[in-house]
Amino acid sequence: MSTPMENSVDLLPEGPEIPHVTASRRHRREWVQTAKAAWALRRTKIGVGLFLVILAIALFGPLIAPYGPTEFVGKPYRMPSATAWLGTDNLGRDVLTRVLNGGRTVFSLSLTATAVGMAMGILLGMFAGYSRRSVDDFTMRALDIVMAFPHIVFVLLIVAALGPRPWLIALAVAIGHAPRVARVARGATLEIVGRDFILASEMLGTAKWRIMVTELFPNITSPMFVEFGLRLAYSIGTIAALSFLGFGLQPPAADWGLMINENRIGVAVQPYSVFVPVVMIALLTIAVSLIADGLARAIIGIDRRTGTE
């Protein structure tokens, strides 16, 4: 059909006899719609469920832990028993207690790093995409230079040079994310800047920053939402890796990444001290990825069963 198909959900008769339609809040923000559509998918529900369980462990774990995180409860590398349900670690501390205590840093650091990285990336990407031409080229080539470093190498470089401070780790991971986020944000922006409503705003003489905030940004929230999920999964991996390498929390603090490193020598004797933190990190990454995937599917409308595309 030549004329565009009416893709509206609600049907109104045309002409003056229009019934009173109340503004529905759900239209206000695009991502609310996206989230609702994503929630309809099983993968999203599983992802959110897993995420909440692990978040609860990280947040409330220290309250229910049977021992103190640095308390010695037995000999090193003991298999699970009635006193230590998951056995003991390389120094004879309770593995369960340390697992319950060790999630907070992963959560706080990866969430902060992702949020900061997203903010920087979106700003840069929208700026580049909307400026077009030379500014766009310059910004994107500069970001390419940052991207030329593998993410983990880039972070290691900074942390090794300036010391393993938590805020620095978060910032370094964020800076590593920024150019990648910027690419996606720029792509989404380019799709919108060509639309006539941007031109209409420009014709009014509206300031560029105002067009970016009020006209552009609300239209790119959905892909950014997905990107946030992907970046968060990546942050978790990177930050756990940094802890493993000894750049995160310093011993004797409890931390999943650090636990893997501390106990790896005894993995054959007492596998729980390594595998439980590994599984925690893995499940968290899977949970976040499932959510991101659900959101992405909701946006492109892969869900076939409803017949909506």
Instruction: Return the residue of 32, 52, 53, 200 that touches other proteins, per CB under 8 A.
Output: 200
Strand partners of residue 190: none
**6 belongs to the binding site for other proteins (CB under 8 A):** yes
77 vs 217, beta carbon nearer other proteins: 217
The burial of 227, by beta-carbon neighbours within 10 Å (0-12 exposed, 13-18 middle, 19 or more buried), is given as buried
Angstrom distance (rounded) from CA 283 to CA 103? 12
Place of tokens 């207690």: 97
**5 belongs to the binding site for other proteins (CB under 8 A):** yes
How many residues sit close enough to other proteins to count as binding (CB under 8 A)? 47
Q: What residues from 160 to 199 belong to the interface with other proteins (CB under 8 A)?
A: 195-197, 199
**In the complex, what is the shortest distance from the CB of residue 226 to other proteins, in angstroms, rounded to a whole number?**
17
Residue 128 near residue 250 (C-beta atoms within 8 A): no
What is the chain's length? 309
Q: How many helices (H) and strands (E) does the chain have?
A: 12, 0
Q: How far is CA 136 from the centre of its chain?
A: 26
Percent composition of the chain: helix, strand, coil (DSSP 3-state, to 5):
70, 0, 30
Q: Write the binding mask 213 to 242 for other proteins: x where contact by CB under 8 A, - elsewhere.
A: -xx--xx-----------------------
Q: Write the binding mask 265 to 304 for other proteins: x where contact by CB under 8 A, - elsewhere.
A: ---------------------------------------x
**70 belongs to the binding site for other proteins (CB under 8 A):** no
Residue 198 near residue 192 (C-beta atoms within 8 A): yes
User: Cα dist. 130→127, 188, 195 in Å?
Assistant: 5, 10, 12
Instruction: Return the residue of 70, 90, 131, 201 that touches other proteins, per CB under 8 A.
Output: 201
**136 belongs to the binding site for other proteins (CB under 8 A):** no
**22 belongs to the binding site for other proteins (CB under 8 A):** yes
**133 belongs to the binding site for other proteins (CB under 8 A):** no
82 vs 194, beta carbon nearer other proteins: 194
Strand partners of residue 94: 88
Instruction: Return the residue of 20, 42, 75, 141 that touches other proteins, per CB under 8 A.
Output: 20
Angstrom distance (rounded) from CA 60 to CA 66? 12
**134 belongs to the binding site for other proteins (CB under 8 A):** no
Could you list the residues that contact other proteins (CB under 8 A)? 1-18, 20-23, 27-30, 195-197, 199-206, 214-215, 218-219, 304-309
